[in-house]
Amino acid sequence: MTEYKPIRKVVSGNYAAAYAAKHARVQVVAAYPITPQTSIIEKIAEFIANGEVENLQYVPVESEHSAMAACIGASATGARAFTATSAQGLALMHEMLHWAAGARLPIVMVDVNRAMAPPWSVWDDQTDSLAQRDTGWMQFYAENNQEVYDGVIMAFKVAETVNVPAMIVESAFILSHTYDVVEMIPQELVDEFLPPRKPLYTLTDFDNPISVGALATPNDYYEFRYKLAKAHEEAVKVIKDVGNEFGEMFGRDYSEMIEKEHIDDADFVFMGMGSLMGTVKEAVELLRKEGYKIGYAKVRWFRPFPKEELREIASKVNGIAVLDRNFSFGQEGILFNEAKGVLYSAKSKPVMKNYIVGLGGRDFTVDDVRKIAEDMKKVIEKGEPDVEVDWYHLKR
């Protein structure tokens, strides 16, 4: 391996995504503008305009539904396809997300988390991506711009290994438009890490033609669902291997699907996803100095869900404060709901409380973490939460 000398660039989360797509040598980008995603595809268009990329076809489609459809056509043909969207755009794609996964196409997409309307909002909220939970896509939640960049490159490798599409999720504005230093990988090394795609099938073998996705009767449909379910199971292992390899080559290890700290001596941990975990990390270190016995568990991959890692965390702590920047109406925070489900079969069950935070971009600060830590202490003393779901910021 050539010696790794990172190229440091100060970029927004969106530009980090665009650079990652470029470095992954994507061949087809089909996308449609929407705030706060637009600067990703603008940057990619700029790469093409400046002659910085070769053999990249940019398809300026007329909707997100068509963006995903075009990526599906491209990926089925055999190309590496990429797109990006947000909120309303992602919702419009919904049908085609199922299609991409069902046809086993390793498309990579960045979703910039944005609240669903109405009321209109362009700010951070995870409900858009989590509402796509059951489409068969893998989902990776980035905490910072570096993770956006790394995530896109790793996602291609994981996706192309298991033939399942992957979504890299970043926060509106907090990441998408905030500049930060990102260590980029020289092209030769990205090429070494991520070789050209070897498709499961293509549409270009003209002597042995195939059809893809024909009507399957109840006698066969079931087996294809099982195959996709198995691919997600296999992805758990692949994600760890790829994350490990990435760490060995570039010094940033992603072998953990849940990034965790202080679990071994924590009374309770904060669990959540995405950029808000950056705030939590900072607060945890601060509060530990003040004597709080706390840790954190940042869920990087929401699909496939890291069940084993979560059960292990649960076996070591007395409580988990689940922070959800999302909500499933008629139920509760989505991560909370998932975590409870996973822990039902765990031997030790910590006390859990769900804090609904930051919806529609509501500020979530270090001070909020402190308040929640105070509250959690009481929950653990009592051995049960006062309320299971706490609309933490609500103006009462």
Cα angle for residues 272, 180, 335 (degrees, 5° grid): 10
Q: What's the length of the chain?
A: 396
* Nearest distance, CB of residue 186 and other proteins, angstroms: 23
How many chain residues bind other proteins (CB under 8 A)? 55
Q: Could you say whether residue 172 binds other proteins (CB under 8 A)?
A: no
CA distance 105 to 99: 9
Q: Which is nearer to other proteins, 78 or 186 (CB)?
A: 78
Q: Which of 41, 96, 45, 39 is nearest to 72 (CA)?
A: 96
Q: Which is nearer to other proteins, 59 or 263 (CB)?
A: 59
DSSP secondary structure string for all residues of 303-327: ES--HHHHHHHHHH-SEEEEEESS-
Q: Indicate the residue type of 258.
A: I
Q: Could you say whether residue 342 binds other proteins (CB under 8 A)?
A: no
Cβ atoms of residues 137 and 301 within 8 Å: no
DSSP secondary structure string for all residues of 269-302: EEEE-TTHHHHHHHHHHHHHHTT--EEEEEE-EE
* Nearest distance, CB of residue 353 and other proteins, angstroms: 41
Cα angle for residues 28, 33, 34 (degrees, 5° grid): 130
Q: Could you say whether residue 212 binds other proteins (CB under 8 A)?
A: yes
Q: Which is nearer to other proteins, 218 or 383 (CB)?
A: 218
* Nearest distance, CB of residue 284 and other proteins, angstroms: 42
Q: Which is nearer to other proteins, 99 or 123 (CB)?
A: 99
Cβ atoms of residues 267 and 319 within 8 Å: yes
Quick one: which segment of 96-104, 133-141, 151-159, 355-363 binds other proteins (CB under 8 A)? 96-104
Q: Which is nearer to other proteins, 134 or 282 (CB)?
A: 134
Q: Could you say whether residue 99 binds other proteins (CB under 8 A)?
A: yes
* Nearest distance, CB of residue 43 and other proteins, angstroms: 19
Q: Could you say whether residue 103 binds other proteins (CB under 8 A)?
A: yes
Exactly one of 2, 3, 51, 62 binds other proteins (CB under 8 A); which one? Answer: 62
CA distance 351 to 386: 11
Q: Could you say whether residue 179 binds other proteins (CB under 8 A)?
A: no
Q: Could you say whether residue 71 binds other proteins (CB under 8 A)?
A: yes
CA distance 102 to 155: 18
Q: Which of 267, 294, 260 is nearest to 366 (CA)?
A: 294
Q: Could you say whether residue 34 binds other proteins (CB under 8 A)?
A: no
Q: Could you say whether residue 313 binds other proteins (CB under 8 A)?
A: no
Q: Could you say whether residue 76 binds other proteins (CB under 8 A)?
A: yes
Q: Could you say whether residue 311 binds other proteins (CB under 8 A)?
A: no
Beta pairing, strands 138-141 & 301-303: antiparallel
Cα angle for residues 358, 138, 98 (degrees, 5° grid): 105
Q: Which is nearer to other proteins, 94 or 393 (CB)?
A: 94
CA distance 92 to 101: 16
Q: Could you say whether residue 95 binds other proteins (CB under 8 A)?
A: yes
Quick one: which segment of 27-35, 243-251, 312-320, 373-381 binds other proteins (CB under 8 A)? 27-35
Exactly one of 213, 248, 265, 378 binds other proteins (CB under 8 A); which one? Answer: 213
170 SS3 class: strand
Exactly one of 118, 209, 218, 330 binds other proteins (CB under 8 A); which one? Answer: 209
Tokens 């105070």 locate to 374
Q: Which is nearer to other proteins, 60 or 341 (CB)?
A: 60
- Edge to edge, the sheet with strand 389-390 lists 258-261, 294-299, 268-272, 319-324, 351-356, 389-390
- Spell out the residues 6+ positions from residue 49 whose beta carbon is closer than 8 angstroms to its own: none
Exactly one of 1, 3, 119, 207 binds other proteins (CB under 8 A); which one? Answer: 207
Q: Could you say whether residue 223 binds other proteins (CB under 8 A)?
A: yes
Q: Could you say whether residue 31 binds other proteins (CB under 8 A)?
A: no
Which residues contribute to the site for other proteins (CB under 8 A)?
27-28, 30, 55-57, 59-63, 65-67, 69-79, 81, 95-96, 99, 102-104, 163, 200-201, 203-207, 209-217, 220, 223-224, 226-227, 231
